[in-house]
DNA sequence: CAATCAGCCTATCAAATGATAGACTACATG
DNA sequence: CATGTAGTCTATCATTTGATAGGCTGATTG
């Protein structure tokens, strides 16, 4: 359980734990991140963590919940929208990159290979798989409609996924880049996929109308 | 030191350790991979590892040495070649993907974020940085020559790097994909970058002549 | 045959790790 | 004032981890 040992949390420490843990998880991985490291990053003693979270896994579960659940929900919104597959993919890349950049949590870990294998994180594997499958679905329907070149949709999906997995490196770049990158990145990837690259600007415009469907509100601390 | 405790190794166990360790490192990370897990995967007792390698770190160092040193060398070969930047990038993506696929080691770990941070792996960070910088150099010279669209070269580089980081997922795919993926992947990425996408086939042909410069021999066991 | 050595094994160690228990402090409330 | 509670702390525990030490076996060589 992620419920605090006691009543209502007011200190903000719980959220600081999530933020610091997300950074450590992204660089050290789940098993490679110790509770002592998290505690030190937050500035509390290691056993204090267990006032806020029942165990180490609960920290990670909460992070995944805040990241993957909105992402999959947003992607599902895109799937049902009345728009071309290319616009959907554009919106996905732009929206997801924006979302990652705007998140207080460093969510690189969400797509790490480790996450796909650790027994503790098994419940979240399904969510990652869903995200990938829905991406693949958009690509395939783009190919069926002729908007995208024929080719292995899986390969295109790897290009998207690989790129998004690095989206958090953008947080290390300057503000000018941060503003332009989501859209520029989407354009770069789409240009590689479109059968007719001259349609890119149309796609871009169409995608702009879709963005609100994708970018969920940044998760707020609970309660 | 990576020298065995005793004389000449003949059993092949050392190489099996490297292979199994590479897989575990790719999925669990360095700190998350225990020597007991490696030993179990090889089918020996945990302390037996230390007959073959002086410590855990030495295993990883050897893997990095086999992976990164040839990659950077191959990339340096491409840089000095008389060829267009686009052909160089095409050859890089195709060649690196091929090399990863042909390697007996699962080299996903080489580009993990963890690798960029663990103090034990610091000496290899420089090699990774070199690989990235040389990739960036090719992209930038493609932009200067007009072959590639203007845009943030860093962004293009992230797309390449992100994709290559996932290249090892291809080992999980069927043989038909394995054969076509390196070239198809390169084409997909280049199409997104080229100012004139109609030049793609020329680039592809030019790159074919470059490949021998990039793909180093798969490392053989030492001694 | 004896000696040597590669390549393992079991037992063990020191240190690290996630977690528990009890205590303490500061603050809010009745 | 007393009481309750959030939120920390130190001390400690059981387990895990990388590594060492000593021993054993089988194959090879002289």
Burial class (CB in 10 A: 0-12, 13-18, 19+), A69: middle
Chain A closest-CA separation from residue B51 CA (Å) = 25
Task: Decide which of A144 and B30 is more confident.
Answer: A144
Q: Give the C-alpha distances (Å, rounded to integers) separating A57 from A19, A128, A223, B175.
A: 15, 17, 20, 38
- pLDDT at residue A200, as a whole number: 95
The rounded Cα A152 to chain-centroid distance in angstroms is 24
Question: pLDDT digits over A49-68, tens only?
Answer: 999 999 999 998 899 888 88
Please report the pLDDT score of residue B174 as a whole number.
Answer: 67
Which nt is closest to the CA of A31, judged by C1'?
A: C17
Question: Which nt sits closest to A5, CA to C1'?
Answer: D6
Smallest Cα distance from B166 to chain A, Å? 6
The pLDDT value recorded for residue A129 is 86
Residue B221: pLDDT band (50, 70, 90) is very low
Q: Residue A170 pLDDT more than 80?
A: no
ipTM: 0.85
Cβ-based contacts of A156 with chain B (< 8 Å) = 188
Give the integer Cα–Cα distance in Å for A146 and A156: 15
Q: What is the pLDDT of residue B217?
A: 56
Is the pLDDT reported for residue B124 higher than 60? yes
Residue A51 CB lies within 7 Å of the nucleic strand D:
yes
Interatomic distance B82 CA / D9 C1' (Å): 66
Q: A159, B108: Cβ pair inside 8 Å? A: no
Average pLDDT over residues A20-38: 89
Residues of chain A with C-beta less than 8 angstroms from the C-beta of B164: 162
Could you say which nucleotides of strand D lie within 7 A of any protein CB atom? 5-12, 16-22
Give, in degrees to the nearest 5, the angle at Cα B14 between B12 and B20.
100
**B67-214 is classed CATH 1.10.357.10:** yes
Taking only the tens place, the pLDDT of each residue in A72-94 is 999 999 999 999 999 999 999 99
Report the distance separating Cα B75 and Cα B92, nearest Å: 7
Probe site for chain A from B56, B149, B157, B162 (most A CB atoms < 10 A) = B162
Lowest mean pLDDT among A55-59, A199-203, B29-33, B183-187: B29-33
B220 touches strand C (CB under 7 A): no
A114·B191 Cβ contact <8 A: no
Taking Cα atoms as reference points, which of A113, A108, A14 lies closest to residue A64? A108
Q: B26 or A36: which carries more pLDDT confidence? A: A36
Across A125-136, average pLDDT: 89
Q: Across all residues in chain A, what is the average pLDDT? A: 84
pLDDT of residue B64: 87
Q: Locate the domains of chain A by residue range.
A: 63-214
Q: At what angle do helices B56-80 and B13-28 cross, to 10 degrees?
A: 80
A27 vs A14, which has greater pLDDT? Answer: A14
Beta-carbon pairs below 8 A across chains A and B? 125
Inter-chain touch B158–A166, beta carbons under 8 Å: yes
CB atoms within 10 A of CB B77: 18
The pLDDT > 70 percentage for chain B reads 83
B34, pLDDT greater than 90: yes
Residue B92 has pLDDT above 80, yes or no: yes
Sign of CA dihedral A138, A144, A147, A148: positive
Spatial separation of the C-alpha atoms in residues B117 and A83, rounded to whole Å: 42
**Partner B, chain A 119-178, Cβ-Cβ below 8 Å:** 149, 151-152, 154-156, 158-159, 161-166, 169, 173, 177
CB A179 within 8 A of CB B178: no
Could you tell me the pLDDT band of residue B106, with boundaries at 50, 70 and 90?
Answer: confident
Using the beta-carbon criterion (under 8 Å), do A152 and B108 form an inter-chain contact?
no
Provide the pLDDT for residue A1. Answer: 34
* Rounded Cα distance, A147 and A190, in Å: 10
Determine whether the distance from the CB of B28 to the nearest atom of strand D is below 7 Å. no
Identify the pLDDT of residue A18. Answer: 94
DSSP chain A: --S-SSS---SSHHHHHHHHHHHHHHHH-STT--HHHHHHHHTS-GGGHHHH-SSHHHHHHHHHHHHHHHHHHHHHHHHHSSS-HHHHHHHHHHHHHHHHHH-SS-GGGGG-TGGGT-GGGHHHHHHHHHHHHHHHHHHHHHHHTTSB-SS-HHHHHHHHHHHHHTGGGGGGS-HHHHHHHHHHHHHHHHHHHBSSGGGHHHHHHHHHTTHHHH-PPPPPPP-
Report the pLDDT value the prediction gives residue A110, as an integer from 0 to 100.
53
Say yes or no: domain A63-214 is CATH 3.40.50.360.
no
B-chain residue closest to A162, CA distance: B162
Distance separating alpha carbons of residues B39 and B47, to the nearest angstrom: 8
In this prediction, residue B4 carries a pLDDT of 45
Nearest nucleotide (CA of A36 to C1'): C17
B153/A4: higher pLDDT:
B153
Q: What is the pLDDT of residue B220?
A: 47
CB atoms under 10 Å from CB of A102, counted, come to 13
**Average per-residue pLDDT for chain B:** 84
Structure tokens at B204: 């592809």
Q: What is the pLDDT of residues B146-176, one digit of tens each?
A: 999 998 898 899 889 888 877 766 666 666 6
């Amino acid at each position: 359980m992620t419920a605090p040992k006691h009543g209502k949390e007011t200190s903000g420490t719980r959220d600081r734990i999530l933020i610091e843990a997300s950074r450590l998880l992204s660089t050290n991985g789940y098993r490679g991140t110790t509770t002592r490291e998290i505690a030190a990053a937050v500035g509390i003693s290691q056993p204090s963590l267990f006032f806020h979270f029942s165990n180490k896994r609960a920290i990670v579960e909460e992070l995944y919940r805040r990241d993957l659940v909105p992402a999959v929900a947003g992607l599902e919104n895109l799937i049902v929208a009345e728009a071309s597959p290319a616009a959907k993919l554009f919106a996905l890349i732009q929206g997801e990159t924006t979302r990652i950049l705007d998140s207080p949590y460093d969510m690189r870990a969400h797509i790490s290979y480790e996450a796909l294998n650790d027994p503790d994180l098994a419940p979240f594997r399904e969510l990652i798989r869903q995200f990938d499958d829905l991406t693949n679905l958009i690509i395939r329907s783009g190919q069926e409609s002729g908007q995208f070149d024929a080719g292995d949709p899986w390969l295109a999906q790897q290009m998207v996924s690989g790129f998004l997995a690095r989206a958090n490196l953008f947080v290390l770049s300057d503000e000018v880049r941060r503003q332009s990158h989501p859209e520029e990145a989407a354009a770069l990837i789409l240009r590689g996929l479109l059968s007719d690259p001259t349609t890119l600007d149309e796609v871009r415009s169409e995608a702009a109308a879709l963005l609100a469907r994708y970018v969920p509100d940044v998760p707020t601390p609970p309660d």
